[in-house]
């Protein structure tokens, strides 16, 4: 499967529906590989972390933008398999998912089973640690500024 084409196709299909859901019914999932593990002060809660806002990585800026916009939460997930549990516990009506293409495709498939629109935002550098993303473009999506 070409995960890049799959996620792009799903983004095209889901964008309007994702944006039509009020921010206070949306959640953001980011991968733990985006954390700066040497400096991160996030608090661990079983299958996920909650950002402490320490500024050691880009997650603090994502957290601030999401809080300012009124999102349900930002969850730093330990793996794609934790999406199902987080969705069940938090019951979002839409998800902004940040991940590598493979994990993003898996998350989209899981959420489609529950009829939850997902907008996928790919990492610009993936791997299992020291990953990165283009923050300004992601912040625009969080704020609902597309185009």
**pLDDT tens-digit readout, 101-144:** 999 999 999 999 999 999 999 999 988 888 999 999 999 999 98
Q: Which CATH number is 129's domain given?
A: 3.40.50
| pLDDT (0 to 100) of residue 1 | 85
pLDDT digits (tens, 9 = 90+) for 13-32: 999 999 999 999 999 999 99
How many domains, in total, are found in the chain?
1
- The mean per-residue pLDDT over the stretch 56-73 comes to 96
* Pairwise CA distance, residues 88 & 65, whole Å: 24
Q: Over the stretch 20-64, which tens digit does the pLDDT of each residue have?
A: 999 999 999 999 999 998 999 999 999 899 999 999 999 999 999
According to the model, what pLDDT value does residue 39 have?
95
CB 71 within 8 A of CB 92: no
Residue-number span of the structural domain to which 67 is assigned: 3-143
Task: Please give the pLDDT value at position 147.
Answer: 57
pLDDT at 23: 96
What per-residue confidence (pLDDT) applies to 55? 94
23: Cβ contacts below 8 Å, ≥ 6 apart: 69, 70, 71, 144
* Cα end-to-end span (Å), the chain: 28
């Amino acid at each position: 499967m070409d995960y890049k084409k799959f996620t792009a196709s799903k983004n095209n299909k889901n964008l309007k529906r994702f944006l039509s859901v009020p921010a206070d019914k949306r959640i953001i999932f980011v991968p733990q590989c985006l954390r700066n593990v040497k400096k991160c002060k996030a608090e661990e809660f079983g299958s996920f972390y909650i950002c402490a806002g320490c500024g050691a990585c880009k997650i603090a800026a994502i957290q601030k933008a999401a809080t300012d916009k009124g999102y349900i939460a930002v969850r730093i997930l330990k793996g794609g398999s934790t999406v199902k549990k987080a969705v069940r516990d938090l019951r979002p009506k839409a998800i902004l998912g940040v991940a590598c293409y493979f994990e993003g495709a898996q998350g989209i498939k899981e959420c489609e089973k529950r009829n939850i629109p997902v907008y996928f935002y790919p990492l610009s550098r993936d791997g299992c640690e020291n990953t990165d993303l283009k923050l300004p473009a992601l912040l625009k999506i969080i704020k609902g500024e597309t185009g």
